[in-house]
Structure formats: C-alpha cells, structure tokens
Amino acid sequence: MNTTVLIIEDDAEINDMLRILLQQNGYRTVSAYSGTEALLVQSGEIGCILLDLMLPGRSGEEIIRELKQKHGSPVIVMSAIHDVEKKVNLFSLGADDYITKPFHNDELLARIAARLRSPDGSKPASALTFRDLVLDTEQYTVTCAGKTVELSRHEFALLRLLMEHPERTCTKSIIYDTVWDYENSADDNTLNVHISKLRKKLKECSPDTEYIETVWGIGYRMKK
C-alpha cells in the first residue's frame, strides 16, 4: 500500500499539524501551500491527497480535476462548507471524499485509510478477521465462532467498516457516509438499531464475547 499523503493547505500551522498527525500514524507526507505548488509536487508516489478548498491563487475546486487526471490518487476535500449542493458539486468535479472542518483526528485517519489504494491496483484479501469473527468481502458471508451469521446489507457494511479499521474509532459521520452512502434516512436512531441487532446476532454465536464497543459521543470500534 502506498502510504504517502499529499497535504494541500495554505495555513502553515494547520499543514504542520496534519503532517505531525499523519507521521505519528505511520504515513509519509508531502506538503504544498498552494494549488500551483500541489500540481508541481504531485507524483505517482502519492497515495492520497488532502485538499483544502481555500487556497491562494487557484482554489481547491479549480485544481481537483487536474489532480485526479495526473495520477488518479484519491482526493479528500477539507472545508468548512456545509451547503449540500456545494458538496455534491465537489464530487462531480472529481473529489472522492469530503470532511468538514473542524474534524476529529480519528475520522480523518479512518477516511484516509479507506481511500488509500494498493500501488499495483490489486484487490485486498477478501477475508477480514477479528478474533473468531470472519467476514468475506467477496462472498458476502460472515461467520462467528464457526457459525454462519445472517446479516442485512447495512449490517454487513457496518461490520465490514469496523473490521477494516480495528484499531480506530469509526465516527458516526464516517459510518453514515460509508454504510448509508449519504442517504437522508441515516440518523442516530437508525445507527443505534443496527448496532443493537448486529451485537445481538454476534452474541447468539458467542454469548461470552463482546465484539463491538461504543465510544461515547464519537462512534464505535471493535472491542480490543
């Protein structure tokens, strides 16, 4: 996996903060402070791009398409924009993901991990494992303690997201965006119901084991 992240942010303090955060979590970083500089330093070594929209000279919106065309690296937009129409327009320009400022560090790290691609374009292994829990992403099957678990589409997607990032907390925001894919029906009650059903089904297979824990006020993660 290519773990180099290009940070495009003109605020030196924020750029430096992001650089330190990513490096502490095992990523290599390259920093750019304007759209023009970003296009100059982008290369095939870049696995993911963090792009602030408010840049001097050429704005982030103006360079998204060019960034995507050069090497195809996924672009995660960082902005304080809350207008849904403007967000949708960013995806039409080529953005792969969007995170609203101010954001939680765990959410940003989870979004980066979800977007990074393998350098050879190969697919990840189809089986995800956590303790005695096995999820096959190609066959869409789940077994717990050797027993088959029947899950709904959203339950499967929710468990898959948590198992893909077992060391991190998945915030409610990233769960809504990933599992419900920006559907308006996603809310706290919907998420709580799905988590409850998922826990119940896993407990039926392994009554003495807790697989998912709540991080109050933030989201959920696999229980260590």
Domain termination site, one of 83, 115, 147: 115
Which pLDDT value is given to residue 162? Answer: 92
Domain termination site, one of 49, 84, 115: 115
* Residues 59/70, Cβ–Cβ less than 8 Å: no
Is 120 inside any structural domain?
Answer: no
> Quick one: 152 and 191 in the same domain?
yes
3-state secondary structure of 213: strand
> Quick one: 98 and 143 in the same domain?
no
Sheet with 127-130, strands from edge to edge, namely 127-130, 133-136, 141-144, 147-148
> Quick one: 192 and 156 in the same domain?
yes
User: 72-76 long-range contacts, Cβ below 8 Å, gap at least 24?
Assistant: 73/6, 73/42, 73/46, 73/47, 73/48, 73/49, 74/48, 74/49, 74/115, 74/116, 74/117, 75/49, 75/51, 76/48, 76/49, 76/50, 76/51, 76/111, 76/112, 76/115
Is 47 inside any structural domain?
Answer: yes
> Quick one: 101 and 13 in the same domain?
yes
For residue 146, give the CATH number of its domain. 1.10.10.10
Give the span between the Cα atoms of 214 and 224, in whole angstroms.
Answer: 12
> Quick one: 21 and 106 in the same domain?
yes
> Quick one: 171 and 137 in the same domain?
yes
Is 9 inside any structural domain?
Answer: yes
Domains of the chain: total: 2
Which pLDDT value is given to residue 182? Answer: 56
> Quick one: 25 and 80 in the same domain?
yes
> Quick one: 136 and 203 in the same domain?
yes
Which pLDDT value is given to residue 184? Answer: 56
pLDDT along the chain (224 residues), means of 10: 86 95 90 93 89 89 87 88 75 85 87 67 61 84 89 92 87 86 70 95 92 93 90
The domain in which residue 200 lies consists of: 127-222
* Residues 48/73, Cβ–Cβ less than 8 Å: yes
Is 198 inside any structural domain?
Answer: yes
3-state secondary structure of 129: strand
Which pLDDT value is given to residue 122? Answer: 40
